[in-house]
Structure 1
């Protein structure tokens, strides 16, 4: 019976809508007719249509549900009895108790109304007007994104009370008259006029929520960001920062192009730390796709003085590097050309004697010749660096590098082929390298040197695998390599290979210097092995052990590299992983007497609520690399989800040799559906003549509902005992 009534009601309304359209002038475009369905529909003698019981009205994408709807053909209006739910299909929903609307549902008056935007922001009012389907005007309104339970008389965590609120649905803006920000119904801020974006907006011009900052050097102050949209692909953020000892303007500019993007950021300050100097910094970066698969990348960094970045906690860098680079990466080819400028912020480094300007070029190509098989690799490289000083290195007779400049050219040709002989894998390697190095402003090394370096290598592997019940697999692979590099070592200074690392990545390299300004010479044998255990349902582990024996000592390897002398230290590296979330990895170098030159260990553990990690690093003293005392350091970092709303994180670094912390930081965050509050503290224990120890406090508050959905999972407080 109900189905027949609803079908009859639709037909009656359709006839009524057609008769209404016939009264319109021919030149006017008639709106799409509204359609009603209900449990009961009545047409009175004066042609009024009354629908009662589970009423639904549709007009375009707009949908209304109510208890009763009355249509007046004389006025073309609808009288709706609630509870009413009006949904426009675009994220806007209106709830009301009574309404008088036009037949297209775009204009009218609603009583006891509540507007919900994008399922985030709620606007409650005594009375609401809709105009043209674009503007919604609310009187005596309260706005919040906090979840409000039915029958709960307690005020929300925050709300904005206003005499009038206008929502411009087309522009996605909210306009407030006589606005009050209230925390638990206590007024804390008043503005006669206020404009805020609605949740549908991704980018719009306006103020962002302020941040409270407290710094032991700068004092306590406020930072108030102002975001400016400059079209669909550009924006600018200006942030005045005022504190007891500083007046600062921060900025950030971003622009996206069809084939790239740039970002510029910086700050300008007038403070009491250096009252007679203007201070600031300027960082920029960009990336662009060029023709023929080339990519242009650049970044530049500039600062007014050595302590500025540390004083304001903008960055923890003690050396700045500005770079412009063009590169292309293809399957069998790589090209790179770059220029780098370095600037030191360390008080114990002289800028004039550091290689501040560096130019590098690299071309790599590989071929697979069918005639001889295997793989042929060709490499051409060039490097040049210059120091601002022009003083000859030997001028003072103290061996200190003052003005030395260097230019290097290298060409390498290498052929590799792998043979399989049963379970034995044999890889051969033949090559020839040419090196040319020119030195200036250094009479000790005259003009430089050049030479050829033929090379050969043979690597043997015998991998063995054993599988057992449960899917557990064990892998053992003994390895051995004999290698040779001929030619005489070049008589040039060690400018690029001053820091050498020995690890499982270069155990089987013919030369372990990080740059080609020098190469290992003579015969060498590397041997060792790898063991691994893989358990899909339990724990997994791997272990690598290796050592190198040479025909002759390489004088450019210092003691802490583990490669000095004719016999290297033992290299031991491994990792351990458990399904429960624990992972440990480590690496160490030790000699036959078990004297350790380097060691590092890193451990991490995580689950649904907790993630913690820590590391230990130790390096023995080495005067050859200006390390007069050992380096020992402990680090710890972690985060915990205290409950559904609270989370905390810590970061700590401790210097074992100095016996004190180097840096420490902690943060506490509260997040729910309507607010995000973050409290942070950072402590820097600086030991420098230009940088002072400092402590920074930060407080940020963000009211949810006035920004686009970021995709972050947000917990909504529930009205019952269970979380939503």
Structure 2
């Protein structure tokens, strides 16, 4: 959500001015003073010294001269020196400070400078304040706040306890001096004849306000008001959000924040479009003492616009889709009472598979619960969990809605075929539990784990859920989805020992048992319902020997050879067991040495295994380093159960995991940071023939003060057969900005699909950025296949103002 528009922090300024004079009034009763204590109040504050060594009721005062005439005490500095007063973590300097004991009026004169504990600095030529904090005056006021913004006024007057007035005021969130300390014109400023802060109305009121960009007036308003900046949140309009889409035309979203209470608000954000009906977005948030609930929703009544008849060779308009109610709901709640228990829910649904794309709904895919639905999948769930230092327990149930394109239609994107919701499982319940004892067991660490899950699926799904032996050869039309239930228990013991030579030995034992109940199996196996049990026991040893060599006074080389030997019983990969949670595997430096390298429970390894690797790390100067890891695993026999049918050739099998043969893929992983301005990392798995199965490389760099760029490359070649269902991919992603003249530059961003030989998304724009005002104007093209209108292109505008926020919420 966007920040509210901010104005000069006059309330904070008032508090700091009052605090300075009030502290002077407490102890202005001596001549040339040292640390002293004010007279006792009715309820004295705790006598605890702060960082400056002073208690809250103490004042430290330095002056060249001090005198008293009747009830007036005066302290002054000689020539150009000033009086110094320190109190409550703040500092006050002035050429002269006086205090009238009878009237309770304190004044600071000549080059007044006040610095509060937060770093805000206030300058004035004259300051006056009474002891009751009912009235105050500052002349030639200039204030520099900790966030870099500045406020200046000819006079500042506190008219009453609730009203502050600034006359001929200027406020800017931008620097007013360059790097050499010379004055410069701020990029953004607000100038007003009078600014009044009314704390009772909780508002700041302007008269004859002029908004300036680079010193040039761009907007005049005889009257202008916004919420008091001392208010954390206040009702009002936020920065509007312009956008363009081929289907909607020009759009303008105008968010309005309605604050109900300090713990509740509404965000009403209608989107007005030139070519289709408006779309209403709503957001409600409520914070309780130990809970938070947030609900987002949207609604319109409109046709399902898009490209439904391809290139329109006969120049006919696209096929109209009749108007109907279209909406979405994105809600979540978190409940965190005192104690080890927590609970929550998410409710995510949309009426249309492409609703978020057609109306550019902001950030619809969020991780707000115990489980995440992933990109373009919505998840509705309820869950509860309990966590202590030695144990964890969770129980959940969830359902998924898919917005993913299953079969794209290149000619008519509006006719894309989407993944059916019935092909995704309904999960209830999903239980996980972990526990380990307080102390060591046999000198090592014991961990116990148990899980249970039930999955129900409406539609039939073959590979990769079903094993090749379970997939029927003929038609699968009308077959039900396979339901499964599983209970697993696992115990792991591991002990770490380090020899005198520095060799690290870690013997381990792992025991696991699974029980499955599977129903609605395809008829080809001759089974409908089946109960399967299996177990596996593993014993092994991890060994590593880190070696370090000093290459120079500022460089070290670390070599760490590592190896693992393990022996397991037969894993018993029964073909009746569906593969629900182990379909993908990313071999890397950490997972290569795990007992269970698959992310879930449905696939597991057994037999004899030997895994070895070497990690080399070079560190030099301060914070510069490079590292490289190379490793591989060997096994005593092949495991055909890890192979799955090729999507475009079901009679052929391939190994997406890289673990089916007696030698695993090579794992190569590295990082590099040759300077504090350049860094990167890479990861690849390479099969026995030297072909890259998967790889990802990323690097980013900075040069100059604000120039930067990031480039990444990712490739997947695990599927050996080309075809329409082949999911191999190859992408290059680039983003960066380069300043050309002063604060002016260009910005670019793009994603290239090398597999499809097209630019998926691209942005190029003109940029202005002077650290407090950022403006981008550019051209964007979106070729993502999910958009029902096909490729979209148009102008984009991004605006961010320091203190006032920016586009987007």
What TM-score, normalized by structure 1, do the two folds share?
0.76
Distance (whole Å) between structure 2 residues aligned to residue 281 and residue 263 of structure 1: 14
CA distances 1:246-278 after superposition (whole Å, capped 9, x unpaired): 523333333333334333334334567647234
Deviates more, 1:74-83 or 1:359-368: 74-83
Deviates most, 35-44 or 407-416: 35-44
**Residue in 1 that maps onto 2:424:** 355
C-alpha separation in 1, matches of 2:628 and 2:183: 61
Counterpart residue number, 2:386: 328
1:639-650 equivalences under 5 Å are: 650=748
Q: Find out whether 1:600 has 2:696 as its counterpart.
A: yes
> Structure 1 residues 170, 643: closer, same or farther in 2, change over 3 A?
farther
Change (3 A) 1:667 1:123: same
* Aligned residue runs from structure 1 range 46-65, under 5 A: none
> Which residues in structure 2 correspond to 1:476-491 (within 5 Å)?
476-487=561-572, 489=574, 491=576
Do structure 1's residue 528 and structure 2's residue 612 form an aligned pair? yes
For the residues of structure 2 that align with 1:100 and 1:639, how far apart are their CA atoms? Answer: 50
2:400 match:
342
Q: 1:28-107 counterparts in 2 under 5 A?
A: 106-107=134-135
Secondary structure in structure 2 of the residue aligned to 1:404: coil
Tell me what 2:49 maps to: none
Gaps of 5+ in 1: 1-8, 13-34, 708-724
Q: 2:791 aligns with which of 655, 676, 693?
A: 693
Cα contact 1:368–1:374 (8 A) shared by 2: no
Paired residue for 1:572, among 651, 667, 677? 667
**1:41-440 counterparts in 2 under 5 A?**
106-107=134-135, 113-114=140-141, 116=143, 118=145, 129-132=157-160, 134-138=162-166, 143-146=171-174, 157-162=187-192, 164-168=194-198, 173-183=203-213, 188-197=218-227, 199-245=229-275, 246-269=277-300, 274=305, 276-290=323-337, 292-313=339-360, 314-315=362-363, 317-348=375-406, 349-351=418-420, 353-359=422-428, 360-367=430-437, 374-389=444-459, 397-399=474-476, 402-418=479-495, 423=503, 425=505, 427-440=507-520
Q: Kindly provide the CA deviation profile for residues 163-183 of structure 1, in whole angstroms up to 9, marking residues without a partner as x.
A: 543123677631123544344
1:209-230 CA deviation, whole Å, 9 max, x = no partner? 3343334443334333323333
Distance 2:438 2:117 in 1: 60
For residues 86-129 of structure 1, give each alpha carbon's deviation from its aligned partner in whole angstroms, at most 9, with x where no partner exists: 99999999877789987978547877x55648476666667765
CA 1:292–1:541 in structure 2 vs 1: closer, same or farther (change >3 Å)? same
Equivalence for 1:26: none
Q: Which residue among 684, 687, 710 is the counterpart of 1:612?
A: 710
Question: What SS does the corresponding residue of 2:278 show, helix, strand or coil?
Answer: strand
CA distance in 1, matches of 2:504, 2:172: 71
CA drift at 1:310: 1.6
Does the 8 Å contact 2:460/2:479 carry over to 1?
yes
Encode CA deviations 1:272-320: one digit per residue, 9 max, x unaligned.
7647234343322333324541222433322231112122333474222
User: SS at the partner of 1:514?
Assistant: coil
Match of 2:46 in 1: none
Q: Which shows bigger deviation, 268-277 or 78-87?
A: 78-87
Query: Which stretch has the larger CA shift, 152-161 or 396-405?
Result: 152-161
Deviations 1:365-420 (A, max 9, x none): 33589775545443322222223459999999424795314232223343535486
Following the alignment from structure 1 to structure 2, what is the Cα–Cα distance between the partners of residues 292 and 110?
A: 52
Superposition deviation, residue 659 in structure 1: 0.4
CA distance in 1: counterparts of 2:714 and 2:228, whole angstroms? 49
Distance 1:481 1:629 in 2: 34
Secondary structure of the residue aligned to 1:561 is: coil
CA distance, structure 2, for counterparts of residue 51 and residue 466 of structure 1: 65
Does the 8 A contact of 1:605 with 1:613 survive in 2? no
Distance 1:341 1:682, change over 3 A: farther
Cα distance per residue 1:514-562 (max 9 Å; x no partner): 33234345x2433332232343446432322213334353233242425
Shift of 1:658: 0.7
Deviation per CA, 1:302-356: give whole Å up to 9, x if none. Answer: 2231112122333474222223322233343222212221111134345253124
Structure number with greater Rg is 1
**Is contact 1:463-1:478 (8 Å) kept?**
no
Whether the 8 Å CA contact 1:410–1:516 is kept in 2: the answer is no
Kept in 1: contact 2:658–2:665 (CA 8 A): no
Once the two structures are TM-superposed, the CA of residue 696 in structure 1 deviates from its matched residue by: 5.8
Report whether the alignment pairs 1:555 with 2:641. Answer: yes
How far 1:205 sits from its partner (Å)? 2.6
1:5: which partner in 2?
none
- How far 1:633 sits from its partner (Å)? 1.9
The DSSP-based 3-state class of the residue aligned with 1:353 is helix
> What is the match of residue 6 of structure 1?
none
**Compared CA separation, residues 584 and 104, structure 1 to 2 (3 A):** closer
Deviates more, 1:96-105 or 1:408-417: 96-105
- Residue 682 (structure 2) aligns with: 585
Secondary structure, in 3 states, of the residue corresponding to 1:446?
Answer: coil
CA separation of 1:195 and 1:438: change in aligned 2, threshold 3 A: same
TM-score, with normalisation over the residues of structure 2?
0.69
CA contact (8 A) 1:209 1:701 kept: no
- For the 8 Å contact 1:450–1:490, the answer to whether it is kept is no
Q: CA deviation at 1:685?
A: 0.8
Choose 465-474 or 396-405, whichever is displaced more.
Answer: 396-405
Contact map agreement 1:573 1:588 (CA 8 A) in 2: yes
* Partner SS, residue 333 of structure 2: strand
Does 1:628 pair with 2:628? no
The answer to whether the 8 A contact 1:307-1:691 is kept is: no
**How many pairs are equivalent?**
674
Q: Verify the 8 A CA contact 2:177 2:184 in the aligned structure 1.
A: no
State the secondary structure of the residue aligned to 1:310.
Answer: helix
Q: Unmatched 5+ residue regions in structure 2?
A: 1-27, 32-60, 306-321, 366-374, 407-417, 463-469, 645-653
Q: Counterparts in 2 of 1:443-458, with a 5 A limit?
A: 443-444=523-524, 445-458=527-540
Identify the range of structure 1 (574-583 vs 422-431) with the bigger mean alpha-carbon deviation. Answer: 422-431
Aligned match of 1:23: none
